[in-house]
Amino acid sequence: MNTKAINSLSTSKKLKEIKNKLPDGDLSLNDLTNLLSSEGVQFLIIILLAPFLIPVSIPGSSTPFGIMIILLELAFLRNKSIYIPDIIGKYEISKENVFKLFNVLERIFGYLEKISKPRGNLYSKRYVIILNGLMTIMLAALLFLPLPIPFTDFTPAISILLLSLSILEKDSYLMILGFISGILTAFYFMSVGYLGIEIIRLTLNYIISII
């Protein structure tokens, strides 16, 4: 199937077609970018979100994937070609793990596409796209914070997924849901930070009291 035909497919079917055309051997982030560049930045961002959405273990992926999402979104907002530093672009993923990512995303999109459709016109307004991009960048920065706390990867990832998919599917309702999810995620992280500071303060006060 040629590129033009693939571009006419739904997101889940695009994933299946591209998965079947993956080259043998490990794939670097540069390879993945080159392979998916014709599908657009938001599509590539969604691929990079997969490890944060489900238990697909790719050791050490949090930082390079988070930085990569930020770089991709910046390129999208500035309408510039994608620039990836070598230290990030050379990060490799085994073909087995790439297959896992695609398989999971196929299932997720198979469900989301049943409830998502072109609605409204928010996705066509430049200021909304900029706001969408800035929120995506903020959420991506949260992805690679080294926090051993439940949902600190999943919550920003699901918010970015909704924001990126809303652009691909031209769904204003999904975009609004993404904004709401992003705001709730920010509040969650602020709550985690506040609780962390309080725990440290109480611990120090206890230590001082027994000295």
**The pLDDT value given to residue 6:** 38
- 2 pLDDT exceeds 50? no
Phi, psi of 152 (to 5 degrees): -75, -10
Produce one character per residue of 156-174: b if its CB has 16 or more CB atoms within 10 Å, e if not. Answer: bbbbbbbbbbbbbbbbbeb
More confident residue, 131 or 81: 131
Dump pLDDT digits (tens) for 158-173. 999 999 988 888 889 9
Question: CA–CA separation, 131 vs 136, rounded Å?
Answer: 9
**The pLDDT value given to residue 21:** 74
Instruction: Indicate the SS3 state at residue 92.
Output: strand
**The pLDDT value given to residue 131:** 93
Q: Where does the pLDDT of residue 10 fall: very low under 50, low under 70, confident under 90, or very high at 90 and above?
A: low
- 148 pLDDT exceeds 80? no
More confident residue, 178 or 17: 178
**The pLDDT value given to residue 19:** 77
Q: Where does the pLDDT of residue 61 fall: very low under 50, low under 70, confident under 90, or very high at 90 and above?
A: low
How many CA atoms are closer than 13 Å to the CA of 20, on its beta-carbon side?
Answer: 9
pTM of the model: 0.79
Q: How far apart are the first and last CA of the chain?
A: 73
Dump pLDDT digits (tens) for 187-201. 988 888 888 788 888
**The pLDDT value given to residue 207:** 78
**The pLDDT value given to residue 39:** 66
Q: What are 186's two structure tokens?
A: 């920010």
**The pLDDT value given to residue 67:** 85
